[in-house]
Structure 1
Amino acid sequence: MPDGEKHLTVTILSAVSEIEAAEWDACAGTDNPFIRHAFVDAMERSGSACSRTGWLPRHLAVRDGEGRLLAAAPLYLKSHSFGEYVFDWSWAQAYERAGGKYYPKLQCAVPFTPVTGPRLLVHPAEDGQRLRRVLASSMIDLARRLGVSSAHVTFPTEAEYDGLGEAGYLQRLGSQYHWRNQGYGSFEDFLGQLSSRKRKQIRKERDAVARSGVSLSTLVGGDVKARHWDVFHAFYQATVDRKWGRAYVNRAFFEELSASVLADSVVLVWAEADGEPLGAAFNMLGADTLYGRTWGGGGGRQVDFLHFEACYYRALDFAIAHGLARVEAGAQGEHKVSRGYLPVPTYSAHWIADPGLAEPVARYLAHERAMVAEDMAEQAMEGPFRKG
């Protein structure tokens, strides 16, 4: 505990369920579904994020002398770097080649969720700057006490990123592709803002799906039944297997999510033909944003452009119809730019104990930040929107 903060108590928790949901959400807010108590709890209760999968909960809770929760942070002791979407494999390999031990490490994150949102959670009635400093220093203190190599905060807000830099964390810049609603009244309004070539391409893709005989529907909240999750998870697993990936989330997670207060935040785009499911896109609804999470496809029939229709265009339809400010379609994917999703910055912060690793990583990150910023500017200039 830093000087001047002795009256506060920082507790290390082995599950988010050790904090009351109302207490956690009072600090986290309710705009972003992924940092809500129910989402993190579903990850842990389902066994998707647990010691067996390499995500050992070590959440921080800051309380005052009367026991009131003032701040918290989702924190895990990790034995690998899977499911983070901010890649530090090369750091780990370099450190271990030099004789160091990179794992375990501390990771402040929402498991398997590359979505920007608050990570240093502070009750709005409290001194946010002060308590975020307490959380940042407490992560370093815990890392030192455990003897681990590092502590990482992934996908924080820009304000948190700036504060973590002031607290001595190395700063990393990344990017994703988001769509912003410019007050469109319809999908055609959106298309009208694109260059002729891009507009024609999107119409061609949507028309191809419409002519294919595939039926698409958007299921929200209670419309999503157990049978949909059964099929979706099988498709998700099949998609992961085809791409030589790793299935991070198990079937039980979706059951936990549907039984929670976040059930109404589920938006599932469902595709089928002649009663046979072909694929589905899983989204979550926030206060003003639709978050695209996962695509699963595995039906016997392959349909050109179905992935784009289900994951991107139906998401835009939903956002326009519901007056949402933006659609975030997840990590990676430069192909999203031609479909109206433009680059935006994402952030992460990293404290590394050994100066022998921290110094070269700091030099690398300075160079990387400049390259990412330049690349984002070029992609924005080459975007699909009409010039002028």
Structure 2
Amino acid sequence: MKDIQKLDWGQITPPNFPFSDYEYLLALETSQSVGSETGWIPHYLTVWQGVELVGATFVYLKTNSYGEYIFDWEWADAYHRCALPYYPKLVSAIPFTPATGAKILLHPNADRDAVSRALISAMLALAEEKGCHSVNCLFLPPEEVPYFSERGFLIRHSFQYHWFNREYVDFSDFLDHLKTKRKKQIVREREQLIARGLEIRVVTGEAIRPRHAGIVYRFYLSTIDKMGAYPYLTSRFFDTVMATMKDRLVLILAYDRGTEIAGTINYRKGDHLYGRYWGADEYVRHLHFELCYYQSIDYAIRNKITLFEAGAQGEHKFPRGFLPERNYSAHWIFHARFRTAIAQFLNEEKALIGRLIDDKLGSSPYHQQIPGSGRVSTD
């Protein structure tokens, strides 16, 4: 990342997605959260018009499938059973981050079609040069899907639960839009937590201090330990983003008699909010919901945030006002026979995802049927 000027990169980053910002990608590298040891080796493909950067994408040479959230372990297993190599592969995604955002970064004055196609061609060329067996672009925004589809990529559908701001006046107004059962559940959970006597603080901008990096890292490790996962993000990563991205961070911390006992880190850019990591030193009933959902929704309403993505998984998000939103990924499979088999699987999976979303929306937690973002790809 250091080979590209920060000012140039800043001209092509999207207005609502903090994870492709120069500071974030650089922090992943300099903290050694990505690299050969973690199986995420970064490459940046760029398009220039004279001395002006007009387009770019970020891809990672991968030797495993960890930290992607669009799971292809069964594909890798099928390759293995046929005595074929599945790795290395090329992946365009934000490491360890299941958030939808642009993978084709464009200057406002760029020829969108020409630069997008040039970058996709560059991905395929790099994959062949590195001996990759596939190219995988994950969590694509709907407007990018046609560029991959026209080139022959297989399009995969999945879904997450997202919260959308319907111009709510305040948190109470949001609750009033929920069905009575759902509203009472949230009110009851919050009342029980208030009785616990904890103090909740929202820390943003210049109020973020270097010491907060250690606090958030401690909570991150506590969750990693409970899940039996691998701590890809290093303490240096948190030190770096707390110093360089404090204008895009929203920390929500719980204190018991002046000592922080739990917290979550959110990233904000433009009118979008993204929940990332949470952790706690001790179990307190409903505290996860309070910090990760209710306090974050309240912050979103007060700050005119239109979209809140709270991360992967979470059936428990649905009764609390999060709705299913379709995700897209694009896959280029070099092996012809496996490409045919995977294409058939993806068609069946797409139909299943559609039925699941329809079923969920049919039992919406809201009084009225409220659609998601409305941003849907036809592929």
Shift of 1:234: 1.4
Q: Hey, what's the Cα distance between the residues in 1 that align with 2:307 and 2:126?
A: 37
Residue number among 32, 46, 69 corresponding to 1:47 in the alignment: 32
> Does 2:219 match 1:204?
no
Residue number among 6, 31, 35 corresponding to 2:20 in the alignment: 35
> Does 2:19 match 1:19?
no
Shift of 1:276: 2.5
Provide the residue aligned with 1:338 in structure 2: 319
Give the 3-state SS of the residue equivalent to 1:259 in structure 2. helix
Matches within 5 A, 1:101-120: 101-120=85-104
Conserved 8 A contact 2:63-2:89: yes
Matches within 5 A, 1:76-95: 76-95=60-79
Q: What CA deviation, in whole Å up to 9, does each residue of 1:116-169 have, x standing for no partner?
A: 111011212011111111111111111112221111101121111121011111
Q: Hey, what's the Cα distance between the residues in 1 that align with 2:52 and 2:121?
A: 20
Provide the residue aligned with 1:13 in structure 2: none
> Does 2:278 match 1:295?
yes
Residue number among 314, 338, 348 corresponding to 2:329 in the alignment: 348
Identify unmatched segments of 5+ residues in structure 2. 370-379
> Does 2:89 match 1:138?
no
TM-score normalised over the length of structure 1: 0.93
Q: Hey, what's the Cα distance between the residues in 2 that align with 1:72 and 1:78?
A: 19
Residue number among 159, 163, 168 corresponding to 2:147 in the alignment: 163
Q: Hey, what's the Cα distance between the residues in 2 that align with 1:252 and 1:162?
A: 38
Provide the residue aligned with 1:311 in structure 2: 292
Conserved 8 A contact 1:170-1:350: yes
Q: Hey, what's the Cα distance between the residues in 2 that align with 1:188 and 1:29?
A: 32
> Does 2:262 match 1:276?
no
The count of aligned residue pairs is: 369
Which residue type is aligned with residue 19 of structure 1? Answer: I
Conserved 8 A contact 1:30-1:36: no
Residue number among 268, 272, 285 corresponding to 1:285 in the alignment: 268
Shift of 1:175: 0.7
Provide the residue aligned with 2:58 in structure 1: 74
Provide the residue aligned with 1:324 in structure 2: 305
Conserved 8 A contact 1:239-1:298: no
Please provide the CA RMSD for this pair.
Answer: 1.2
Provide the residue aligned with 2:349 in structure 1: 368
Provide the residue aligned with 1:9 in structure 2: none
Q: Hey, what's the Cα distance between the residues in 2 that align with 1:374 and 1:70?
A: 40
The worse-fitting range, judged by mean Cα deviation, of 339-348 and 372-381 is 372-381
Conserved 8 A contact 2:93-2:137: yes
Q: What CA deviation, in whole Å up to 9, does each residue of 1:217-271 have, x standing for no partner?
A: 10002222222221221121121111112222111111111222x2211100000
Which residue type is aligned with residue 273 of structure 2? Answer: L
Provide the residue aligned with 1:256 in structure 2: 240
Q: Hey, what's the Cα distance between the residues in 1 that align with 2:355 and 2:234?
A: 38
Q: Following TM superposition, where does structure 1 have runs of at least 4 consecutive aligned residues deviating by more than 3 angstroms?
A: none
Q: Hey, what's the Cα distance between the residues in 1 that align with 2:354 and 2:3?
A: 41
The worse-fitting range, judged by mean Cα deviation, of 46-55 and 338-347 is 46-55
Residue number among 248, 251, 263 corresponding to 1:265 in the alignment: 248
Conserved 8 A contact 2:293-2:310: yes
Identify unmatched segments of 5+ residues in structure 1. 1-15
> Does 2:195 match 1:214?
no
Which residue type is aligned with residue 42 of structure 1? Answer: A
Q: What CA deviation, in whole Å up to 9, does each residue of 1:99-125 have, x standing for no partner?
A: 111111111111111111110112120
Shift of 1:29: 2.9
Q: What CA deviation, in whole Å up to 9, does each residue of 1:304-324 have, x standing for no partner?
A: 100000000000110111111
Provide the residue aligned with 1:11 in structure 2: none
Q: Hey, what's the Cα distance between the residues in 1 that align with 2:106 and 2:272?
A: 22
Q: What is the aligned-residue identity percentage? A: 37
TM-score normalised over the length of structure 2: 0.95
